[in-house]
Amino acid sequence: MSSGRVATLLKQFVSRTQLGRAATGWTSQCSAQVGTSRSFMTQGSRVMAAAEAPSTSGRLPAFWHQIRRSAWTDSKGYTHFDSSRGSWFSFGPRAQYALGAGVFGFGVYYWSSLETVPFTGRRHAILFVSRKGEQELGKHLFEQQCLEARMEGRLLPAHHPYTQVVRKIGARLADVAAQGVGAGSQEHMKGLNWEYAVIDSAVPNAFVVPGGKVVVFTGLIKMLASEAELAAVMAHETAHVLARHHAERMSTLNLWAIARFLSYALFGIGLPNSALYLGIFLPYSRRAEYEADEIGLQLMASACYDPSAAVSMLQKLHHKEQAMEAQSRMSVPGFMRTHPLTDTRVDKVKKDLAQAYKTYSESNCGVVQGFLDVFM
């Protein structure tokens, strides 16, 4: 073979070898890029799954991670994808079973927690609130209020006439409430340690905390003219305890906390507390006041206090409120009040007087006098 022919063959061999190496290098680069792309896709999928799944820092159960994503893994390790539903509402079997059991369990708990309010017959559920915890909270609040008033020199002593009349009326109403009048659920009334305190303050107000702890301000006592009118106020406060309005309000707060958690965990939406205050708390507070007026009428009638004193008491309170608003030049809209407008309360109490007088007659009561002239 000639030297020229050999040179030509050598050149062809070298050229093919370089082309093969270049192709091999290009293929390797493509494979590396594809591998890198797959790696990015895998990491991206993990990031997306992590973004869709709730955080485990709050010690959520394992099934929670099947919620809010469209893929789930069965017991054999196979991954299933659900393309017919959005990722927000795709639940794996374990999550479905757990949620179903949770809904059923809550339904049973809710049903077992239902109580009947005496006199009105309204049904309400007391949720996640124990009687012991309710009473301990009331005791703490009452002691704190008395301590602050004592340190300021505004807590009236036990021998003061105002304190004595408040305790006398309170004991009379508490005895009636403990007798089971009005039917309904009254287990929470057993063994209550009723306590009463009078605080020197110009504000015409009185309030009660859980467990039968009543506080009356001197501004209210001075506004009234008879023991029956003061009894109307204290019967109203006793009615709050009988109807367990405090426990019902705490139950509402507990449910709201659960609703806020679920709304944020499932949908990423935080419910504003203003919605609770304006949409639930204030309307319920006004309804509870109406109910306490109705029950209080029955309690004072059963304790042989003239029910009509509730009307005169509210009328005086209404005039006092008007004077205070005129002085401050401020008027709170009805939907922003914790209590209904007093004039509407007067109208409703007048409608309930017929039933109250029936109770009064059945209790064999005479008209109770007992004016507070000695205190004026």
Quick check: 246 and 185 in contact, CB under 8 A? Answer: no
Q: Is the pLDDT of residue 130 over 50?
A: yes
**Mean pLDDT of the region 239-249:** 96
161 vs 22 pLDDT, higher one: 161
pLDDT score, position 17: 45
36: confidence class by pLDDT, cuts 50, 70, 90: very low
Q: Is the pLDDT of residue 60 over 80?
A: no
Distances (CA, A) of 86 to 51, 81, 83: 15, 11, 7
Instruction: Give tens-digit pLDDT for 324-359.
Output: 888 877 778 888 888 998 999 999 999 999 999 999
Inside any domain, residue 172: yes
**Mean pLDDT of the region 231-248:** 96
276: confidence class by pLDDT, cuts 50, 70, 90: confident
Phi, then psi, of 43 in degrees rounded to 5: -65, -40
- Domain range holding 340? 124-373
Q: What is the rounded radius of gyration, in angstroms, for the C-alpha atoms of the chain?
A: 36
Inside any domain, residue 14: no
**Mean pLDDT of the region 262-289:** 88
Report the predicted TM-score, pTM, of the whole model to 2 decimal places: 0.72
Neighbouring C-beta atoms of residue 360, cutoff 10 Å = 24
pLDDT score, position 62: 52
Instruction: Out of 195, 237, 289, 291, pick the active-site residue.
Output: 237
Inside any domain, residue 84: no
Q: Side by side, which strands form the sheet with 206-209? A: 195-199, 213-217, 206-209
Inside any domain, residue 59: no
Inside any domain, residue 1: no
Concerning whether 187 is annotated as a catalytic residue, the answer is no
Measure CA 272 to chain center. 13
Inside any domain, residue 199: yes
Q: Name the percent of the chain lying above pLDDT 70.
A: 74
User: What would the two tokens of residue 335 be?
Assistant: 């939907």
User: What would the two tokens of residue 96 be?
Assistant: 């479905």
- Give the total number of structural domains in the chain: 1
Place of tokens 């004077």: 323
**Mean pLDDT of the region 224-243:** 96
Q: Is 315 exposed, middle or buried (0-12, 13-18, 19+ CB in 10 A)?
A: middle
Inside any domain, residue 32: no
* Paired strand residues for 198: 216
Packing angle between helix 308-328 and helix 342-362, nearest 10 degrees? 160
Inside any domain, residue 52: no
Q: Is 295 exposed, middle or buried (0-12, 13-18, 19+ CB in 10 A)?
A: buried
Least confident of 52-56, 156-160, 224-228, 268-272: 52-56
